[in-house]
Structure 1
Amino acid sequence: MSTASVPLPNWINYALIPLINLILAFLVSGLVVWIIGEDPYEALKLMLAGALGRGEGIGFTLFYATNFIFTGLSVAVAYHAGLFNIGSEGQAYLGGLGAALVALSLDHYVPWYVTMPLAICAAALFGAAGAAIPAWLQAKRNSHIVITTIMFNYIISSLMNYVLVHVLIVPGKMAPETRTFLEGGQLPKLDWLMAMFGLKLGPAPLNVSFLIALVMCVLVWVLIWRTKLGYEMRTLGLSRSVAAYAGIPYVKIVIITMLISGGLAGMMALNPVMGASARLQVEFVSGAGFVGIAVSLMGRNHPIGIVLAAILFGVLYQGGAELSFDMPTITRDMIMVIQGLVILFAGALEYMFRPTIVRIYQQIVKA
């Protein structure tokens, strides 16, 4: 029997194997740091201190993690139905447009708690719209979802550039961005949450969208594991032929799944657009859509795992920024290398140690 098909306890699949891969990634990263002449242990301490050592660092870490939770959930929902959505980047761009239009329209008239639910809906609808055509092409024309979603990233990016430069730009300004939203169009910061733990948020842009992301985690868990639709999605993801034999409509499930996936990606825009910068800017997604792929894989496509993986990448982003400041020889490019190693070992090589672990587990069980 292949080791890939040998059942293992959940604590091995979802905890031990990812932990081993993560440790190996950091060991290799430490070796790279040592080769360039720095102390790996000191670099690790500086990174953790910068990300988790004070309220401001934690705020930035959770701010980055919020983006990755949304995009990780987006990838995970599609993955459960056997689809690989690589278009979260573009779908998040469109979500930002939807949220910005709501904020620009209402910020003069209503408080943020009235604007927020409408912005959530608009971001989700615009994000779903970005996934609609690839979904239809996959469902009706059997076009490969990977190709169509990744190409739509470029189409949507060009569309956003046009809208910001020719439609929404502030007259007289050179920067392709909207005006700054008034308070009615801004999501409040979570100072009170940090204060509960005796910490000060400072200038960190952690905002209410973090709580929205956690709510989405719960709703995705309910959807995937506690609803008929979720059962049909998982069945389709396991076997298209079995799903057809069970009477599960392929076209319907593919389109609904991709719309939900795109909607979750679109909601990621709430964090940087309405929470951090309070305006719509070019390139506000900053690669979060692609990081969401690694976050989903590391988190085994489960909301709890996605939250933990997103926080890990938040630590790498924030801690890496602090590290490159305290150790100038470790540049931002080096930080990207470390992030890439984490993705490599925890994503592409996630089953590298599985055969050995299976053999050890079988020996322990037989003993």
Structure 2
Amino acid sequence: MNTTLPRWVDIGLIPLINLALALFVAGLVVIFIGEDPIRAVQILIRGALGSDYGIGFTLYYATNFIFTGLAVAIAFHASLFNIGGEGQASIAGIGVALAALTLDQTHWLISLPAAIVMGGLFGAAWAAIPAYLQAKRGSHIVITTIMFNFIASALLVYLLVNVMKVEGSMATETRKFQEGAQIPFVHEMAGWFGLKMARTPMNISFFLALICCVFTYLLIWRSRLGYEIRAFGFSEPAAVYAGINPVKITMIAMLLSGAMAGLMAINTVMGDQQRLVLDAVQGAGFVGIAVALMGRSHPVGVLLAAILFGILYQGGAELAFEMPKISRDMIVVIQALVILFTGALENMVRIPVARAWLKLDRRSA
């Protein structure tokens, strides 16, 4: 049914209906605990979008989700389910930190490109092993990428405790990067043009995420490699019959996916924290799965879904503060409902909408 639906229905209308259903159920839960759902929505929207402070935090979170969402989307197009974004971003943080620690006495115009390269390479390298096991040994990519998340976590703990930690310090983190590896925050960039913005962790990596959206579109829909990736994902036997090498496509798709997840470390390690800390990813790798599902693995959809989850993160924090009955765990429940309706229960909306569209199409014909 997907091929008969216009893109605006597939990418726009169906996700909106799913989102409306998720928010409706979340509203019922809010009523059940004795709060006003209309007021809750107003606080959430105002906290996320009602000021430059809220917008800055919303887009900071969204930046993480754009990178991890694009990572999942690229693998999806090759029919590969990469659940290893969490581990790939964690390992990429090591590469970004090494670049920043080495070049933090130069200038961010020098250290940032080096960090981008190192983050992409480290993320791709961590995705390469599960990709090889899938392509050559038949190991399921879901299982191996999940396991590699735990290995990445253990490796990061070892390095921060035994190798990269500041001598004499109890904190499991590297030293703070010097000025040469501190990338500009958006409020600082606004000051270059005489504008005033509230101080937030949103930084130049947001614009890097937008560039990656354009790159992903050009790669998947405007290149020969993208055509091979989509053909392989649509039907592996047909792709092999057409001369497409399955090992090559599996490896390339996963390497690109891992590199995209790895770029998330620019935002958190080099931007917000300005050091490598133990939990810089904070679950963004798993949120990226929901972002890719909701965005239908299209860069525009991923961008919009990432902003939505950024709103839920920032607005949810304000909501938990303003309405104590709605705890942080309750915000996680709302996020889970969005994931549930846009992922597991998607066909509950898609099938009726597809049938209705076919009927309208036949009548118009």
Task: Using structure 2 for the length normalisation, give the TM-score.
Answer: 0.97
CA distance in 1, matches of 2:343, 2:189: 33
Q: Distance in 1 between matches of 2:32 and 2:196?
A: 37
Map 1:1-367 onto structure 2 (within 5 A): 4=1, 7-108=4-105, 110-191=106-187, 200-365=196-361, 366=363
* Residues 257 and 358 (structure 1), Cα distance of their counterparts in 2 relative to 1, 3 Å cut: closer
In structure 1, how many angstroms separate the alpha carbons of the residues matched to 2:263 and 2:122?
A: 9
How many angstroms apart in 2 are the aligned matches of 1:266 and 1:254? Answer: 18
State the alpha-carbon separation in 1 of the partners of residues 166 and 182 from structure 2. Answer: 18
* Cα distance in 1, alignment partners of residues 325 and 246 from structure 2: 53
CA separation in 2, counterparts of 1:281 and 1:262? 20
Deviation, 1:57, is 0.3
Contact 1:66 1:268 in 2 (8 A): yes
Between stretches 355-364 and 121-130, larger displacement belongs to 355-364
Matches of 1:18 and 1:200, distance apart in 2: 36
Moved over 6 A (4+): 195-199
How far did residue 298 of structure 1 move? 0.4
State the distance in 1 between where 2:75 and 2:302 align. 14
**Counterpart residue identity of residue 92, structure 1:** A
The alpha-carbon deviation at position 197 of structure 1 amounts to 11
Residue identity opposite 1:49 in structure 2:
R
Distance 2:13 2:52 in 1: 30
TM-score between the two structures when normalised by the length of structure 1: 0.96
Aligned equivalents of 1:359 and 1:97: distance in 2?
A: 49
Q: Is the 8 A contact 2:187 2:200 kept in 1?
A: no
Q: Distance in 2 between matches of 1:198 and 1:286?
A: 34
CA spacing shift, 1:317–1:200, aligned 2, 3 Å: farther
Of 48-57 and 202-211, the range deviating more from structure 2? 202-211
Structure 1, gaps ≥5 residues long: none
Q: Deviations over 1:55-78 (max 9, x none)?
A: 010000000000000000000001
Deviations 1:61-101 (A, max 9, x none): 00000000000000000110110100000000011000000
CA separation of 1:171 and 1:5: change in aligned 2, threshold 3 A:
closer
Change (3 A) 1:314 1:364: same
Q: Give 1:171 deviation, angstroms.
A: 1.0
CA shift, 1:10, in A, is 1.4
| Structure 1 position 348, deviation (Å) | 1.4
C-alpha displacement of 1:286: 0.3
Deviations 1:169-223 (A, max 9, x none): 0111111000011111111101266679998542310000000011011111111
Residue 351 (structure 1) shift: 1.9
Secondary structure (helix, strand or coil) at the match of 2:348 reads: coil
Q: Helix, strand or coil for the counterpart of 1:207?
A: coil
Contact 1:81 1:234 (8 Å CA) reproduced = yes
Percent of pairs with identical residues:
59
Report Cα offsets for 1:115-169 as digits up to 9, x if no partner.
0000000000000111011011011111100000010000011000000000010
Contact 2:2 2:10 in 1 (8 A): no
**Cα shift at 1:355:** 2.5
Given the superposition, is the C-alpha separation of residues 222 and 61 from structure 1 closer, same or farther in structure 2, using an over 3 Å criterion? same
1:360 shift after superposition? 2.3
Moved more, 246-255 or 311-320: 246-255
Return the alpha-carbon distance in structure 1 between the equivalents of residues 192 and 177 of structure 2: 28
Structure 2: how far apart are the matches of 1:149 and 1:45?
A: 39
> For each residue in 1:13-53, what CA deviation from the matched residue of structure 2 results, as whole angstroms up to 9, or x when unmatched?
11111111000100110110011000000000000000000
Distance 1:312 1:197, change over 3 A: farther
Give the Cα separation in 1 of the matches to 2:103 and 2:132: 33
The number of residue pairs the alignment matches comes to: 363
